[in-house]
């Protein structure tokens, strides 16, 4: 007989609980009555239980099923619920919840909880206020998907998680995670079918890729994991390959999805150096890039990752080399790539790639700022469009990764070439540059990445003034960009301790504000 789980009502696991069966679902043993004060989220769920078709008996079966045992364990790792506040009446709770969300959530009482939460999320989604942004092709795929399809389930999981973060209704996180697990099962079955099917329609591939991208956003924002790599990278790469192999060249929606996915894979390549996941061929770069700037960055990242992968494999061998042995040829390749990119940026006009604007950072003395004020710079960088921030982030992430690799090889002293002054500038390192010059390059790029972060996260406005709200509303689109460089700085060996501390504090702040499901 399996051991009984600890009862949260009577705090014992050694004997049968003499309490009555709980209604809130927080007790995991045989307790039948919970002494916990009901939370606002439970009141919201209970008021909609009948219209949602959920009886008390069905809820009991769900809690006692093997699948829900995992969910109950995970739910214990959710964000701390609101404590010490008076519990509203059911009617007042509903009115309060309606006032917190979008106007479309204030649906008639006959609507189900699912309909109200989904309607609220779709309103925010079409306005570009969620982690999915306002991508018209994803909206079209969602509207055309089957009611029981993976895309619908993925959106449902994200909608509940979005509500948990926005209004702190922690009890709905288990419902979100249940929908997430359901979506995973559906996608896994479809991916297995892909391996055996000889011909698949473009619409089927696109629907699955869109659902995986939704789940990938869900993982990055709402699940506590040790790295931002996620579990969907390989599936994304496989589906991107199918879209770029000529099957959907006449399908603008398929190419748009592939481009959307490729941007995430590029940053993950730099976090975990492997061979180029998307390839550096002219055909692939042309299909996945919208303009010459995208092609240039795609090739730069792919070629650098290829060279660094070889260097990491051979690192032990080259570290044990004799004093008279020359550097590995890949080190020269990295230095050539670095100088080539710096020269290209020097000649690149601001129309092709606008520079971020540096503005003074203003933090009111009474405001609780997530970073230590002594560690913050006096200025930050702002941008006018997301693609600008994404481009500069990829370029300087690659600079950091190359500098880290070359510092590990301990190159000898040689000349240094200085670049023209601009926000993305710094030192251009020649072959065999000193460790001091490499560290200068590393410090310049890491500082730029950190200075981009506050505005990307939504902590400041375009004038550099910190948000005055007690709990700042972090921007989903920015969080999907900044987490990769922050993780890179945290894992780096040669980055300055102050920069690593700042990256760690920012990641902890994101974890506190956005993560609603434990690993």
Q: State how beta strands 416-418 and 427-429 pair.
A: antiparallel
Task: State how many domains the chain has.
Answer: 2
Is residue 185 assigned to a domain? yes
**CB contact burial 430-462 (16+ within 10 A = b; e otherwise):** eebbeeebbbbbbbbbbbbbbbbbbbbbbbbee
For the chain, 519 residues long, give each residue's pLDDT as a single digit of tens: 344 444 444 444 444 444 444 444 445 454 555 444 433 233 223 323 322 332 333 333 333 433 322 222 222 222 222 222 233 333 343 333 334 333 333 333 435 677 777 877 877 777 667 777 666 667 778 777 777 778 888 888 888 888 888 776 666 777 788 888 888 888 877 777 665 555 556 677 778 888 888 888 888 888 877 777 767 777 777 777 766 665 544 577 777 777 788 888 888 888 877 666 666 555 666 677 778 888 888 889 888 888 888 887 776 565 555 544 566 777 888 888 988 898 898 888 888 888 898 888 888 776 777 766 554 567 888 888 878 888 999 999 999 999 998 888 764 444 344 443 344 444 444 444 457 777 888 999 999 999 998 888 888 888 888 876 666 678 888 888 899 999 999 989 999 998 998 899 888 888 888 777 765
Is residue 295 assigned to a domain? no
What's residue 56's pLDDT?
33
Tokens at 198, concatenated: 């000889």
Last residue of a domain, one of 199, 222, 245: 222
Is residue 29 assigned to a domain? no
333 and 185 both lie in a single domain: no
What's residue 165's pLDDT?
80
Is residue 181 assigned to a domain? yes
**Prediction pTM value:** 0.69
What's residue 195's pLDDT?
58
Helix 386-409 / helix 476-491 crossing angle, nearest 10 deg = 10
DSSP 407-437: HHH-PPP--EEEPPP-TT--EEEPTT--HHH
Cα–Cα distance measured from residue 10 to residue 27, given in angstroms and rounded to the nearest whole number: 9
492 and 352 both lie in a single domain: yes
Is residue 374 assigned to a domain? yes
478 and 336 both lie in a single domain: yes
Which residues span the domain enclosing 506? 329-514
Is residue 411 assigned to a domain? yes
Cα–Cα distance measured from residue 228 to residue 249, given in angstroms and rounded to the nearest whole number: 31
Tokens at 506, concatenated: 């920012």
- CA contacts within 13 A on the Cβ side of 121: 24
Cα–Cα distance measured from residue 409 to residue 434, given in angstroms and rounded to the nearest whole number: 11
Is residue 104 assigned to a domain? yes
205 and 343 both lie in a single domain: no
CB 96 within 8 A of CB 85: no
CB atoms within 10 A of CB 486: 22
Cα–Cα distance measured from residue 30 to residue 186, given in angstroms and rounded to the nearest whole number: 32
What's residue 401's pLDDT?
93
216 and 355 both lie in a single domain: no
What's residue 394's pLDDT?
92
Cα–Cα distance measured from residue 258 to residue 142, given in angstroms and rounded to the nearest whole number: 17
Last residue of a domain, one of 222, 254, 275: 222
- CA contacts within 13 A on the Cβ side of 423: 21
What's residue 317's pLDDT?
63
What's residue 158's pLDDT?
84
What's residue 166's pLDDT?
74
Map tokens 């309490």 to a residue. 19
Cα–Cα distance measured from residue 40 to residue 159, given in angstroms and rounded to the nearest whole number: 18
Is residue 316 assigned to a domain? no
Last residue of a domain, one of 170, 191, 222: 222
Q: What is the 3-state secondary structure (H, E, C) of 445-501?
A: HHHHHHHHHHHHHCCECCCCEECCCCCCCCCHHHHHHHHHHHHHHHHCCCCCHHHHH
What's residue 185's pLDDT?
80
């Amino acid at each position: 007989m399996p051991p009984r789980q600890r009862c949260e009502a009577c705090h014992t696991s050694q004997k049968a609980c003499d309490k009555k069966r709980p209604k809130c679902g927080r007790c995991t043993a045989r307790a039948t009555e919970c002494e916990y004060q009901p939370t606002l989220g439970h009141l919201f769920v209970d008021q909609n239980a009948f219209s949602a078709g959920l009886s008390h008996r069905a809820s009991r079966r769900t809690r006692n099923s093997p699948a829900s045992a995992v969910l109950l364990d995970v739910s214990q790792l959710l964000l701390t619920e609101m404590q010490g506040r008076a519990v509203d009446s059911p009617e007042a709770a509903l009115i309060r919840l309606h006032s917190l969300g979008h106007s479309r959530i204030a649906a008639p009482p006959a609507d189900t909880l699912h309909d109200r939460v989904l309607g609220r999320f779709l309103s925010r989604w079409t306005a570009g206020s969620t982690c999915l942004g306002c991508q018209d092709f994803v909206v079209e795929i969602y509207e055309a998907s089957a009611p029981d399809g993976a895309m619908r389930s993925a959106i449902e999981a994200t909608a509940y998680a979005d509500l948990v973060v926005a209004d702190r209704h922690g009890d709905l996180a288990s419902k979100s995670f249940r929908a997430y697990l359901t979506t995973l099962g559906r996608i896994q079955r479809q991916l297995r079918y892909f391996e055996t099917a000889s011909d698949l329609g473009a619409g089927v591939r696109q629907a699955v890729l869109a659902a995986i991208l939704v789940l990938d956003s869900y993982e990055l924002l709402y699940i506590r994991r040790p790295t931002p790599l996620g579990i969907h990278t390989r599936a994304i790469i496989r589906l991107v390959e199918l879209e770029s192999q000529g099957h959907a060249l006449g399908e603008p929606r398929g190419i748009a999805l592939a481009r959307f996915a490729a941007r995430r894979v590029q940053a993950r390549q730099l976090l975990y150096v492997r061979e180029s996941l998307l390839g550096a061929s002219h055909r692939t770069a042309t299909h996945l890039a919208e303009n010459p700037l995208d092609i240039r960055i795609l090739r730069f990242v792919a070629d650098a990752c290829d060279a660094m992968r070889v260097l990491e494999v051979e690192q032990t061998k080259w570290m044990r080399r004799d004093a008279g042995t020359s550097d590995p040829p890949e080190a020269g390749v990295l230095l050539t790539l670095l100088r080539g990119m710096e020269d290209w940026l020097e000649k690149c006009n601001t129309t092709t790639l606008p520079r971020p604007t540096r503005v003074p950072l203003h933090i009111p003395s009474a405001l609780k700022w997530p970073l230590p004020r002594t560690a913050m710079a006096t200025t930050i960088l702002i941008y006018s469009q997301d693609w600008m921030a994404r481009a500069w982030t990829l370029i300087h992430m690659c600079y950091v990764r190359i500098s880290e690799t070359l510092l590990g090889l301990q190159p000898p002293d040689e000349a240094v070439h200085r670049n023209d002054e601009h926000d993305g500038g710094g030192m251009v390192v020649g072959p065999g540059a000193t460790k001091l010059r490499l560290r200068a390059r590393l410090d310049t790029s890491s500082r730029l990445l950190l200075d981009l972060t506050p505005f990307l996260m939504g902590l400041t406005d375009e004038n550099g003034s910190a948000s005055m709200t007690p709990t700042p509303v972090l921007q989903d689109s920015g969080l999907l960009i900044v987490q990769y460089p922050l993780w890179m700085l945290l894992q780096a060996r040669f980055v300055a301790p102050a920069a690593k501390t700042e990256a760690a504090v920012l990641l902890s702040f994101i974890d506190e504000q956005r993560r609603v499901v434990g690993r």
